[in-house]
Copies of this chain bind each other. A is one copy, B any other.
């Protein structure tokens, strides 16, 4: 792992990748999948599934029997862990639920903000070789708590046409209403526009591969999407007293996700930095996903030496990391210095993996610096607001002239007229 100074890191941050690029061949490819699904519905979805997932399905929907089989297939321990996670995730997210409110500035005016769940959501869960029951919980439970009427889930089938049983059991536990065996851009198109079997939803959430991400970018506007996740990252802030074994394990837990994942440690201590380098080497050699983690560490892993914690926090705010671990003394005291981070983990015993599975807050977090303007996935993503305005005749009369003046300053005389016709009656 490369050790550099804070000033060098600032330079590196300026080189971040960007979105405003047309990847013509790729975009055409994705758009043609979307278009064909819109025109041909289920038939196109089944064709693409045969082509991309290597399996010829008769039915896109997972049956009740398949769910029952999955329930038999998973261990008691898994059930225990899943339910424990469900309970903690539910209890945190319930605290997020917003209520409608009303104001009475005076007796002739009512203003309000009405909060309503969205009607339906489609959750994308990656599949194939990997299985992510935690993704199911983290997307479906907030939607359920919000009160979303229809929760559909899509996930690509394995080559034998089945879905991983851990994923099916998680969907059942989280209250998913329908599960479809479909992945890729074809799944996003089906959710956005509907097919004979798959009902159109109003919002699509959940992570996916490059095709899924690009398809989400294109259907955005016709349906809502959560966010387009980039490579994920962790930033550990450490001092002389930080345990290098823990810090190394946490950095590597991020690195094993993806060759493009970034594991970064900002520290005031050169002694710690050299211990960490050694510890990363040692643990890396023992990892199952050693190849991926090694590439990530070599390319994007950084130990950044700074003089003070204030300098560390300044770098953190520029980086706006997805996961931030403050593995320093009295971490709570430094919370006010952190402006930009997806999730902030305090102390030595709050590793990222705790947040990924069990702590309660959502593990879907803004990546690649987007924590500067985005929030973790939450109940608020499955609800929306409507303003409510009531003015009595006298309340309107009081502001009528002001509205007319403003409307006329914008040359919107029709707007002014809608006040004048009422004024005529006063």
Contacts and interface: CB of A to CB of B under 8 A. Distances in A.
Contacts of A388: 335, 343-344, 346, 361
B118 A373 contact: yes
A89 to B, nearest CB: 11
Interface in A192-222: 192-193, 202-203, 217-222
Contacts of A222: 18-20
B403 A387 contact: no
A4 interface: no
A293 B414 contact: yes
B361 A387 contact: yes
A213 B287 CA distance: 47
A375 B371 contact: no
Contacts of A359: 111, 389, 391
A386 B341 contact: yes
A295 interface: no
B413 A287 contact: yes
Nearest to A395: B349
Contacts of A92: 103, 111
B224 A110 contact: no
Interface in A387-423: 387-393, 395-396, 399, 401-403, 405-407, 409-419, 421-422
A116 interface: yes
Given A413-B287, A417-B249, A418-B246, A374 B218 contact: no
Stoichiometry, as copies per complex, reads: 2
Given A218-B19, A409-B166, A414-B256, A354 B249 contact: no
A328 to B, nearest CB: 13
A271 interface: no
A288 to B, nearest CB: 4
A78 B372 CA distance: 37
Contacts of A361: 111, 113, 387-389
A31 B19 CA distance: 11
A113 B96 contact: yes
B417 A253 contact: yes
A312 to B, nearest CB: 17
A20 B222 CA distance: 8
A289 interface: yes
A228 B380 CA distance: 20
B352 A418 contact: yes
Contact of A20 (B81, B218, B332, B355): B218
A137 to B, nearest CB: 9
A423 B358 CA distance: 16
A39 interface: no
Interface in A248-302: 249-250, 252-253, 255-257, 283, 286-289, 293
A412 B22 CA distance: 34
A41 interface: no
A226 to B, nearest CB: 11
A11 interface: no
Interface stretch (A44-52, A58-66, A126-134, A173-181): A126-134
Given A116-B340, A287-B413, A406-B133, A391 B20 contact: no
10 contacts: A80-B402, A85-B406, A116-B339, A287-B413, A351-B418, A354-B419, A356-B407, A358-B406, A361-B388, A373-B384
Query: Which 9 residue pairs of A and B lie closest in terms of their CB atoms, listed nearest first?
Result: A19-B221, A361-B387, A256-B414, A81-B402, A224-B373, A375-B385, A249-B418, A346-B390, A343-B387
